[in-house]
Amino acid sequence: MSKFMRIIVFFDLPVVTKKDRKIYAKFRHFLINDGYIMLQFSVYSRICNGDDGVYKHYARLKENLPKKGSIRCMKVTEKQYASMEILVGKKTVRERKTDANQLSIF
């Protein structure tokens, strides 16, 4: 049985020029279309089924990177992700809907 994992993407992209903002929007739309949810501004998370799913999405992420800025990603287990504490604020509706207990593997 595979273990559910999360990919967390952190990014800072320039938004000074109109072209920069277009590149930022394109990257953000890629993340959303690829199943990532926004945790905070410029921090997105995606659930994956095991290491194979993580590496598949790492490859997709690398294919869609902008040329400028700073982008980092981290793989964590679902258990580690679930232990994250929210110090101020609360989970978004979208975030509450996306947890490993609600996923079905076909």
- Summarize pLDDT for 64-85 with one digit per residue, the tens: 999 999 999 999 999 999 999 9
- Summarize pLDDT for 83-99 with one digit per residue, the tens: 999 899 888 777 776 66
- Summarize pLDDT for 37-65 with one digit per residue, the tens: 999 999 999 999 999 999 999 999 999 99
User: How far is the C-alpha of 101 from the C-alpha of 16, rounded, in Å?
Assistant: 41
What is the fold, at CATH topology level, of the domain defined by 4-99? Alpha-Beta Plaits (3.30.70)
Locate the domains of the chain by residue range: 4-99
User: How far is the C-alpha of 63 from the C-alpha of 35, rounded, in Å?
Assistant: 16
Tokens of 105: 């593997």
Residues 6+ apart with CB under 8 A from 46: 6, 7, 9, 31, 34, 35, 36, 37, 57
